[in-house]
Amino acid sequence: MTKTAVPTDTLISQIIAGIEDVKGNDITIMDLRDLDNTVTSYFIICNGNSNTQVNAIVNSIQKKVSKELQEKAWHVEGTDQGEWVLIDYVDVVVHVFQKPIREYYDLEGLWGDAKITVIESTY
């Protein structure tokens, strides 16, 4: 699959909107473009309170991006357990966690050199 024709900032905006539509928590954007040996340009990380909410967030993101941008994820994994779901849009990889799993893997700490933007929830 080739890189998306949709501008990355537009894709990020729709992903954030999809997360906010179902009240996903602790939304963080990590800009990885200035780091060496990365497989994507951005990580978007958020969490839900249960496997049901994690999967609702994932479904909301996919519906929003598909409807608004006519884009589909290149790869999705983790929906069976609903503890950590990865949605790969090539330039943007979304990680939707349950909070304890997010804290355990600490992607923000692992990629500490990335530029981090925290999105303040409006709910």
Q: How confident is the model over 11-29, as pLDDT tens digits?
A: 999 999 999 999 999 999 9
**Does residue 102 contact residue 51 with C-beta atoms inside 8 Å?**
no
Residue 27 is encoded by which pair of tokens? 């939304």
Please, what's the b/e burial string for 58-80 (b: 16 or more CB within 10 A of its CB; e: otherwise)?
bebbbebbeeebebebeebebee
Domains of the chain: 8-119 (3.30.460.10)
pLDDT at position 68 over 70? yes
pLDDT at 2: 44
Q: What is the pLDDT of residues 71-94, one digit of tens each?
A: 999 999 999 999 999 999 999 999
pLDDT at 99: 96
Average pLDDT over residues 105-120: 94
